[in-house]
Amino acid sequence: MEEIMPYLNMITGHLAATSLYVTVLIALVLVIDAVNGNAPSRFRYLLWCMALVPLVIPVRIPFIRTAVPSAVIDTARVYLVPAAAHAFPSGAGTIGLMGKLSVLWLASGAVICGIVMGKVAVMFMSLRHAVPIQRQDIQALVSSCRMRMGTAVSVETLVIPDEIIDIPCVTGVFRRRLLLPQSMVQSWSCADLEPVIFHELAHITRNDFVVNFVQIAVQVVYFFNPLVWLVNRRIRRYREEACDDIVLYLMAGNKSLYAHTIIRVIESARNQAALGVIGMDFVKPSPSLSERIQRIMRHSVCTEKPLTVRHMLLLAAVFTFGLTLSCAPGLTRIDDAGSATEMTLGQNYPNPVNDKTTIPFALKESGAVSLVIYDVKGGKVATLIDKRLDAGSYKIEWDADVDSGIYFYELKVGDKTIVKKMTVIT
């Protein structure tokens, strides 16, 4: 256990830090979404997808720095964690609070991942009961709908027993399948099926499967963050609304027929448990049925309205802001001169860390300051500061690429020197 705790603590520490700054981004997205309530669902869908970017690609880039101009900052990448022997501050064999939280996250994540994989397995087992559709008119209808929508990928149309899946859905990332319940194939006409097929093909044309898999992965990892659940609910809602808009556009705005089709599908649905997590079905629990029907029947519904320059600029701004939140600052002054009562050098944090570490220190008096990192052989690895600084409290972040091992960082002011140790694991 002691050998893996530094790695586990490093991961959970990074996830906690990422969740913290993503909260700011989600708050911004909420405000923009509320202000643009009449915008096309496609824009609102992409807007909420932007909130996933820092969670999927938790980058650290030197974009904005609040630094003393004369400070020398080493900006390579670093992976710093405490040695295994220092991961248990309460004594040998004792796991601290951070360690307990790490174990709890790992155990809970494993359970959730197991549930997800179980649903995926159920879905794949369900596909064994699907057979190619025999009705030539439905096959021709699917081909016609594909041509009208411009769907380039091939779609395999299958019939599946109602006791397994009783609502239409599509599944597959590389092999796209359109699944139609047996009772629907037997009793529905092509005119009745056209809105259903349009809706399912819209998911394929928009590549919604890719985002859906990303959502699943993010929710498994960040299951402890309720804002991640909120983001995923909004994405699923606006994804369905965007598909509704496409269908209404292709049906020349025939709202009554499309609304009637949705109600008819819901009335025939009895068992959706086999859908698992990899299928895109015709009926989603959010928004509610009444809200969805009301939106479809409103004359102001946005049907394939192109995104404006303003929408594109907003999306770009949110994306850029998400990256900026994860920027790594350089040397930052915390307190004014005179606030420090003595010269101190703090332990690097977070402890452990993922891809960077922060070193705090305080100066009682102004003077020539040197902060250098050495390896165990005494070789200089990086010079973080080599200049005169005023009295006060500071912190500096190190982002470097070094081999695993023990390292020391030395703060020197005049004839006074303080040295502390860190462990690097790459």
CATH classification at residue 293: 3.30.2010.10
> Number of structural domains, the chain?
2
Whether the model clears a pTM of 0.95, i.e. scores above it, the answer is no
Domain co-membership, 385 together with 279: no
CA atoms within 13 A on the CB side of 390: 11
Q: Name the more confident of 60 and 89.
A: 60
Q: Six-digit token pair at 141?
A: 């209808």
pLDDT, one tens digit per residue, over 255-312 is 889 989 988 888 877 655 444 444 555 555 445 677 888 888 875 555 556 788 999 9
Taking 70 as the threshold, does the pLDDT of residue 40 lie above it?
yes
- Regarding whether 378 and 267 lie in a shared domain, the answer is no
Asked whether residue 288 falls in the same domain as residue 404, the answer is no
Strands 155-160 and 176-181: parallel
Q: In terms of domains, do 282 and 389 share one?
A: no
**Residue 89 forms part of a structural domain:** no
- pLDDT grade, residue 9 (50/70/90)? low
Helix (H) or strand (E) holding 28: helix 5-35
pLDDT at 277: 44
pLDDT at residue 311, rounded to an integer? 92
What percent of the chain clears pLDDT 70, i.e. is strictly above it?
75
Are residue 281 and residue 174 in the same domain, yes or no? yes
Residue 318 lies in a domain: no
135 and 209 share one domain: yes
- Say yes or no to pLDDT of 116 above 60: yes
**Cα 334 to Cα 49, 230, 392, distances in angstroms:** 35, 34, 7
Q: Where are the alpha helices (DSSP H) in 179-221?
A: 182-187, 190-205, 208-221
Question: The domain that contains 341 carries what CATH number?
Answer: 2.60.40.3080
Which residue would you say has higher pLDDT here, 272 or 16?
Answer: 16
Based on C-alpha coordinates, what's the Rg of the chain?
A: 28
Residue appearing with tokens 């332990």: 347
Residue 1 has pLDDT above 60, yes or no: no
pLDDT surpassing 90 at residue 54: no
Token readout for 334 is 């915390």
CA dist 268 and 246 (Å) reads 24
φ/ψ (deg, to 5) at 387: -165, 170
Query: Can you give the residue range of the structural domain that contains 165?
Result: 117-304
Q: What is the pLDDT of residues 373-418, one digit of tens each?
A: 988 888 898 889 989 888 888 888 887 678 877 888 999 998 899 9
Specify if 39 maps to a domain.
Answer: no
Whether residue 403 is contained in a domain is answered as: yes
The number of beta carbons lying within 10 Å of the beta carbon of residue 130 is 20
Confirm whether 70 is domain-assigned. no
In eight-state DSSP terms, residue 45 is H
Write the pLDDT tens digit of every residue in 159-218.
Answer: 999 888 888 988 887 888 999 999 999 999 999 999 999 999 999 999 898 899 899 999
